[in-house]
């Protein structure tokens, strides 16, 4: 029986030293596969391909076969390091200084991977026979197109009888202090490119041209000043951000023939892709009725909004976090997107991980104290999960 907890510090250092910049595997999945296999996990390396996108390596590992089945999901791919000479310590050296481990991916999210791997290894080593199973879904495609990663692993899991009962994604969810935030959902994202065609002409003879700029400007002003909703108990009010307005016209005495604008909507489950398209259609129709013009647009679906409603699973994780950190975590839906958007189609999912102060930054780092505390939280979650009937 194992009594000494696994130290996640060398695990994180080893993972950081794997230069797994998306979509390169960099040895990180091989490292995890070897470690988990040694501790009784059955591992599957899954490589997915799609024309026009890079091949991506993924890892699924499971200990046990029965229910309840708890899955930890995450990624070992990282964003590029940027200007190396701006780093205090080499981005893939995993140096330790002043109580911090420095390196690309320390927070996002190799720290969480090391912490929940250590917690799970300790549990299966000490729990003896327990009812249920623990698995890991680790992708190499979260920071990239997210086409050949988690979403395809989930379909493979479904086809092979591995869909979990609950899932925790280890994204760095906390804002100021470990334990302050659990993400139970995410806003949706929908982007638009709106084009108005006109007729080019001399600025001195505007009556001989058809200027698309005032038409598009009125539309943009109208949508930018509109309120989509008031928010609700779990979501802030939906937002609309205009990101571009362009006529491609270098001349000051020429009326352009085309004007184009881009904007992005971040929305709660009160909306859908279809309802937001209809909302944009209505406002285009209003302005077109007032000013005319030839209008067209494209809509680019990012991620749909979702929420895991508070209940026994969310409560169990919230209680475990509070018991280990002394902080009752806020239930949040803030931020951008994560692979939880794929998991939510298969089982209840939430996100919990360390603080996110240095993610994607030069000198990304994680304190040793926080890393070990994160592992302790995951260990508490695992122990409570398999001793509680959800």
Residue 96, domain CATH: 3.40.630.10
Mean predicted lDDT score pLDDT of the chain: 96
Q: Provide the domain count of the chain.
A: 2
Q: Is 64 within a domain?
A: yes
pLDDT tens-digit series, residues 61-107: 999 999 999 999 999 999 999 999 999 999 999 999 999 999 999 99
Active-site annotation holds for 210: no
Q: Do the Cβ atoms of 137 and 70 come closer than 8 Å?
A: no
Q: Given 235, 268, 303, which residue is the final one in a domain?
A: 303
Q: Is 367 within a domain?
A: yes
User: Do residues 232 and 311 share a domain?
Assistant: no
In sequence order, which residues have a C-beta less than 8 Å from that of residue 154 and are 6 or more positions away? 137, 163, 342, 343, 345, 346
Q: Give, as one character, the DSSP assignment of residue 287.
A: H
- Report the distance separating Cα 80 and Cα 362, nearest Å: 10
Measured between alpha carbons, how far is residue 30 from residues 57, 227, 365 in Å? 10, 49, 23
- For residue 335, the model assigns a pLDDT of 83
Q: Is 3 within a domain?
A: no
- For residue 41, the model assigns a pLDDT of 98
Residues across the chain? 390
User: Do residues 124 and 194 share a domain?
Assistant: no
214-222: average pLDDT = 98
Q: Do the Cβ atoms of 120 and 35 come closer than 8 Å?
A: no
- Report the distance separating Cα 376 and Cα 161, nearest Å: 30
Q: Is 390 within a domain?
A: no
- 131 pLDDT tier (thresholds 50, 70, 90): very high
User: Do residues 239 and 295 share a domain?
Assistant: yes
Q: Given 250, 270, 303, which residue is the final one in a domain?
A: 303
User: Do residues 29 and 90 share a domain?
Assistant: yes
Q: Give strand ranges (E) for 141-268.
A: 166-169, 181-183, 185-186, 188-197, 201-202, 239-246, 254-255, 258-267
- 160 pLDDT tier (thresholds 50, 70, 90): very high
Measured between alpha carbons, how far is residue 194 from residues 216, 257, 316 in Å? 8, 14, 46
Q: Is 2 within a domain?
A: no
User: Do residues 91 and 38 share a domain?
Assistant: yes
pLDDT tens-digit series, residues 219-242: 999 999 999 999 999 999 999 999
Q: Do the Cβ atoms of 10 and 368 come closer than 8 Å?
A: no
**Is it the case that residue 1 has pLDDT exceeding 60?**
no
- For residue 9, the model assigns a pLDDT of 98
User: Do residues 26 and 130 share a domain?
Assistant: yes
Phi-psi region of 97 (alpha: psi -120 to 50; beta: other; left: phi over 0): beta
Decide the pairing of beta strands 96-97 and 100-102. Answer: antiparallel
**Is it the case that residue 60 has pLDDT exceeding 70?**
yes
User: Do residues 95 and 231 share a domain?
Assistant: no
User: Do residues 279 and 347 share a domain?
Assistant: no
Comparing 127-131, 214-218, 270-274, 365-369, the range with the smallest average pLDDT is 127-131
User: Do residues 162 and 248 share a domain?
Assistant: no
Instruction: Name the residue among 191, 181, 178, 203 with its Cα closest to residue 298.
Output: 191
Task: Using a pLDDT cut of 70, give the percent of the chain over it.
Answer: 99
- 24 pLDDT tier (thresholds 50, 70, 90): very high
Catalytic residue among 141, 142, 324, 351: 142
Active-site annotation holds for 141: no
Q: Given 303, 319, 354, which residue is the final one in a domain?
A: 303
Token duo for residue 211 = 């200027």
Question: What per-residue string of b and e applies to 297-333 under the rule 16 or more CB within 10 Å gives b?
Answer: beeeebbbbbbbeeeebbebbbbbbeebbeeebbbbb
Helical segments of the chain, H only: 8-16, 28-38, 111-126, 150-159, 213-224, 273-291, 312-325, 340-343, 368-385
Q: What order do you get walking across the sheet with 188-197 strand by strand?
A: 239-246, 258-267, 188-197, 294-303
360 φ/ψ angles, rounded to the nearest 5 degrees: 65, 10
- 352 pLDDT tier (thresholds 50, 70, 90): very high
Residue 223, domain CATH: 3.30.70.360
User: Do residues 233 and 269 share a domain?
Assistant: yes
DSSP state letters, 89-119: S-TTT--EETTEEESTTIIIIIHHHHHHHHH
User: Do residues 170 and 192 share a domain?
Assistant: no
124-130: average pLDDT = 89
pLDDT tens-digit series, residues 262-305: 999 999 999 999 999 999 999 999 999 999 999 999 999 988 99
Q: Is 1 within a domain?
A: no
> Is pLDDT larger for residue 252 or for residue 217?
217
- 172 pLDDT tier (thresholds 50, 70, 90): very high
Q: Give, as one character, the DSSP assignment of residue 329.
A: P
Q: Is 72 within a domain?
A: yes
- For residue 34, the model assigns a pLDDT of 97
Question: What range does the domain containing 248 cover?
Answer: 188-303
Catalytic residue among 25, 77, 210, 339: 77
User: Do residues 163 and 204 share a domain?
Assistant: no
Q: Do the Cβ atoms of 224 and 242 come closer than 8 Å?
A: yes
- 2 pLDDT tier (thresholds 50, 70, 90): low
Q: Do the Cβ atoms of 17 and 101 come closer than 8 Å?
A: no
DSSP state letters, 38-71: HTT-EEEEEEEEETTEEEEEEEEEEE-SSSSEEE
- For residue 390, the model assigns a pLDDT of 76
Tell whether omega for the bond before 109 is within 30 degrees of 0, i.e. cis.
yes
Q: Is 145 within a domain?
A: yes
């Amino acid at each position: 029986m194992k009594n000494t907890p696994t130290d996640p510090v060398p695990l994180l250092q080893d993972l950081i030293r794997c230069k797994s910049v998306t979509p390169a595997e960099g040895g990180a999945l091989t490292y995890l596969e070897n470690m988990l296999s040694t501790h009784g996990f059955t591992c599957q390396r899954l490589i997915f391909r799609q024309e026009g996108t890079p091949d991506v390596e993924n890892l699924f590992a499971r200990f046990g076969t029965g229910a309840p089945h708890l899955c930890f999901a995450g990624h070992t791919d990282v964003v590029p390091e940027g200007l190396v000479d701006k780093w205090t310590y080499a981005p893939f050296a995993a140096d330790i200084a002043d109580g911090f481990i420095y390196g690309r991916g320390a927070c996002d999210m190799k720290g969480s991977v090391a912490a929940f791997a250590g917690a799970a290894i300790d549990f299966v080593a000490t729990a003896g026979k327990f009812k249920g199973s623990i698995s890991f879904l680790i992708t190499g495609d979260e920071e990239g197109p997210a086409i050949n990663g988690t979403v395809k692993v989930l379909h493979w899991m479904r086809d092979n009888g591995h869909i979990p009962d609950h899932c925790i994604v280890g994204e760095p969810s906390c804002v100021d202090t470990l334990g302050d935030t659990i993400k139970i959902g995410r806003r949706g994202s929908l982007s638009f490119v709106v084009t108005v065609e006109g007729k080019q002409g001399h600025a001195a003879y505007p009556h001989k041209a058809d200027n698309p700029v005032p038409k598009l400007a009125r539309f943009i002003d109208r949508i930018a000043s509109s309120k989509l909703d008031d928010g609700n108990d779990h979501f802030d009010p939906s937002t609309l951000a205009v990101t571009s307005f362009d006529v491609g016209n270098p001349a000051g005495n020429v009326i352009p023939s085309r004007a184009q604008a881009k904007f992005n909507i971040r929305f709660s489950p009160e909306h859908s892709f279809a309802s937001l398209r209809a909302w944009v259609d209505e406002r285009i129709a209003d302005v077109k009725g007032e000013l005319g013009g030839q209008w067209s647009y494209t809509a680019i679906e990012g991620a749909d909004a979702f929420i895991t409603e508070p209940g026994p699973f969310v409560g169990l994780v919230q209680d475990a976090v509070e018991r280990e950190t002394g902080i009752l975590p806020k239930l949040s839906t803030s931020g951008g997107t994560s692979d939880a958007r794929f998991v939510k189609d298969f089982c209840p999912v939430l996100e919990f991980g360390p603080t996110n102060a240095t993610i994607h930054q030069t000198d990304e780092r994680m304190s040793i104290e926080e890393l070990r505390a994160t592992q302790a939280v995951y260990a508490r979650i695992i122990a409570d999960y398999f001793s509680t009937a959800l």
